[in-house]
Chain A
């Protein structure tokens, strides 16, 4: 893909990561595991963006966390809180509204001169 469009694509994708994390973490998950799930679902994310983001969402109360020491490697598991679920629902509704809005642009091509 042309590099010239990258800044615009990044701009458009920004914010979708938060929604994706909140949805995926309705079942508890840990840093690297989440990174892989995001990738699998088509949200290419950098580790250095995701890890601080998880902390931030936890600080804002949208995620809760707990250390799991049962595995060979201790891991910090995050889970979407009740507030987080409400945020996810709002963001999701907004995303659907935007999708509808963008679709309507393609469906009804009216020139800006008409009122």
Chain B
């Protein structure tokens, strides 16, 4: 005997159910379908037509099975959608840019040509983006199926703060990208050099700064980045943040001015190379030191004043 339509329908329904449910649902569904078919044939319908009508009315077996197994028929429901979307947006702001920059820097340090650097950086950040979206979504799809209740309830505290200028997302991103560029420039200078003499890279900053002075500078850059994150997290500048900003600027000033004053900032080999150029003024090192000192003081003071200005403005509002 060939398998009947009803058997095929029931097989399709129960096959995706948990094993302990299968035989019970099978028996019950068999009975229910037989009842429904009998009700139709009692009205004078022919058995084949009645069976087809009953099964058509029951609809897609996969939907019926989802009903029995209490499975959602969506990938992500309203319970997780917003959490997923917020997290994904945040990660998309951060990860591809970091991948782009990191790979670009690594390729450059390995001495790749410009085409390779750009190509590799873009390819890696694209695949990082795809991975990011896929894995984040997968985690939430599993959460949706596992039915765990990790979502915190929304409260008024989560309302976005009215953002003051200098405390918004674009400022945060600018600060972080600037810090990353600075670190990259430092690494490039020390590891490969911007100036090449006889095929040898020549660092502009004194290699003797490594490790302590250089680590101090890196720490300062990282602290500046952390400050930018703190400002963003608070949504506004505060007195405490302005104090930290002042301290960081003062530290940077003392770091650089001490080194300049003791002729330790720039690489002596680099200076010799510059001075060996015919027609270079003998006074150049002194002029350069004065210009750098002035520049550093102006930028640092402006940064300190700017922090206090924003703090007082945000306090008034």
Contact = CB atoms under 8 A, between A and B. Distances in A.
Interface in A4-61: 30-33, 35-36, 46-49, 51-53, 55-56, 59
Contacts of A47: 32, 36, 57-58
B34 A31 contact: no
A76 interface: yes
A73 B35 contact: yes
B285 interface: no
Interface in A59-103: 59, 67, 73-76
Contacts of B272: none
The main secondary structure of chain A at its interface with chain B is helix
A52 B68 contact: yes
Given A46-B57, A74-B27, A76-B28, A51 B67 contact: yes
Contacts of A49: 67
Given A48-B64, A55-B68, A56-B70, A31 B32 contact: yes
B119 interface: no
A99 B255 CA distance: 78
A51 B34 CA distance: 14
A30 to B, nearest CB: 7
A74 B3 CA distance: 21
A110 B70 CA distance: 44
A48 B59 contact: yes
A79 to B, nearest CB: 15
B36 A75 contact: no
A21 to B, nearest CB: 15
B64 A51 contact: yes
Interface residues of B, number: 19
A51 B31 CA distance: 12
Given A32-B36, A32-B39, A48 B31 contact: no
Nearest to B25: A55
Contacts of B94: none
Nearest to A53: B67
B34 to A, nearest CB: 6
Contact of A31 (B35, B39, B63, B70): B35
Contact of B58 (A36, A48, A59): A48
Nearest to A47: B58
Interface residues of A, number: 21
A114 B121 CA distance: 66
B296 interface: no
Contacts of B24: 76
Nearest to B29: A51
Contacts of B57: 46-48
Interface string B21-48: 0001101110110111001000000000
A51 B63 contact: no
A73 B68 contact: no
Q: Please indicate which of the listed interface residues A32, A46, A49 has the most CB atoms of chain B within 10 Å of its own CB.
A: A32
B282 to A, nearest CB: 87
Nearest to B58: A48
A92 B230 CA distance: 54
Interface in B31-84: 31-32, 34-36, 39, 57-59, 63-64, 67-68, 70
Nearest to A49: B67
B65 to A, nearest CB: 9
Interface of B: 24-25, 27-29, 31-32, 34-36, 39, 57-59, 63-64, 67-68, 70
24 contacts: A30-B31, A31-B35, A32-B35, A32-B36, A32-B39, A33-B35, A36-B39, A46-B59, A47-B36, A47-B57, A48-B59, A48-B63, A49-B67, A51-B64, A51-B67, A52-B67, A52-B68, A52-B70, A73-B34, A74-B27, A75-B28, A76-B24, A76-B27, A76-B28
Given A48-B58, A52-B70, A75-B28, 8 more contacts: A31-B35, A32-B35, A47-B58, A48-B67, A49-B67, A51-B64, A73-B35, A76-B31
